[in-house]
Structure 1
Amino acid sequence: MTYRIEALPIAPFAPFFTMTDAELAAVGARRWVADAPGRAPCRVSLRDAEAGERLVLVHHVHMTDPSSPYRASGPIFVREAAVEAEPVEGPAPEMLRKRPLSLRIYDRRNMMLEGLVIDGTELDARLEEWFGHPATEQVHIHFAPRGCYLARAVRQEPSLP
């Protein structure tokens, strides 16, 4: 069984880049300038913003299933210069591997099977392990200290020849 790590699409966030600070504040978002490397991970490009780079900090719903008690949302950063990352079929991007992570493992009904905190260097091995379980459908990857959503890994069935 294989998996792929997916970034968020840029389209839903593009309107934020042209908003004024007042318009952003009215929708609960903020403009942000990265003050140091590694402090603002972009969920669209799956890379960290460089110091001085402009981003928006917005609220994002990452578990949208209204029938699941695990529906969830929270703040995310999106770089104004972000280019949407292609799905990654391993190894995980550096942005994920260098952080302490919280993994939330879900089945097809969006019910949580397990949650655990790991060192980012363990991510690929843990995803391989969890996608070896037939019940695992997706894994949400969060920044462990603050709980912010980073990306998700989804089951990818092997392609037929």
Structure 2
Amino acid sequence: MDYIVSGLPIEPFQSLFGLDDEALRERGAVRQVAEASHGYPCRVSLQDAEPGETLLLLHWRHHDVDTPYRASGPIYVREAAQAMARVRNSVPPQQQRRLLSVRAYDREGWMQQAEVVDGAALEPLIERYFDDTRIDYLHVHNARPGCYACRIDRG
């Protein structure tokens, strides 16, 4: 099965990097410092921030469709992120070590299936979902605490 795991594009966030705390608050964002490994997942690079690294916590519309499944929520973006991650035919370590909620959508943005899975078992689920011709793409969320994680498309 050929698939691509993608982070968010970096361009919408670059203008926020380096802003002071007041300017970030005016835009509904806050800067946080990672206190531990594996607790601050960047949605652009698909890498967890290292302790001491700064990230922005902000609201993001990750599923901008004209259906009741339009969705948004909080995300982290590492200020050191350089580019949007695109990983072909491999599940990034960030997703492998988490409990995930995977949502399968058709071309119009209607959810067709959903399942909670341990990240180590994500790849077989990708294959099963993409065997269904109705499924166009997947959105992956961290089941704890439930934030958007990444998108998966057919390769």
Which bin holds the TM-score, normalised by the shorter protein? over 0.9
Q: Which runs of 4+ in 1 moved over 6 A?
A: none
Mapping of 1:93-104 within 5 angstroms? 93-104=92-103
After superposition, where does 1:92-131 map in structure 2 within 5 Å? 92-131=91-130
Distance apart, 1:2 and its partner CA: 2.3
Q: TM-score, normalised by structure 1?
A: 0.92
Coordinate RMSD, CA, aligned: 1.1
Q: Is the 8 A contact 2:2 2:89 kept in 1?
A: no
Check conservation: 1:57, 1:76, Cα contact below 8 A.
yes
Superposed CA deviations along residues 47-97 of structure 1, whole A, max 9, x for unmatched, are: 1000000110011101111x2110000011011111224421121100001
Secondary structure of 2:73 counterpart: strand
Unmatched segments (≥5 aa) in structure 2: none
Deviations 1:30-53 (A, max 9, x none): 001000000100011111000000
Tell me, what secondary structure is at the counterpart of 1:42? coil
Partner of 1:9: 9
CA distance in 2, matches of 1:94, 1:17: 25
- For residue 43 of structure 2, give the secondary structure of its aligned residue in structure 1: coil
Does the 8 Å contact 1:141/1:150 carry over to 2? Answer: yes
Kept after mapping to 2: 8 A contact 1:4/1:90: yes
Tell me the percent identity.
44
Equivalent residue for 2:55?
55
Report if aligned partners of 1:136, 1:155 keep a CA contact under 8 Å in 2.
Answer: no
Partner of 1:34: 34
User: What code does the residue aligned with 2:12 have?
Assistant: P
TM-score for both structures, normalised by structure 2: 0.96
Contact map agreement 2:43 2:75 (CA 8 A) in 1? yes
The answer (yes or no) to whether the contact 1:102–1:142 under 8 Å persists in 2 is: yes
Q: Which residue matches 2:88?
A: 89
Q: 2: distance between equivalents of 1:70 and 1:155?
A: 20
* One-letter amino acid of the counterpart of residue 20, structure 2: T
Name stretches of at least 5 consecutive residues in structure 1 with no aligned partner: 157-161
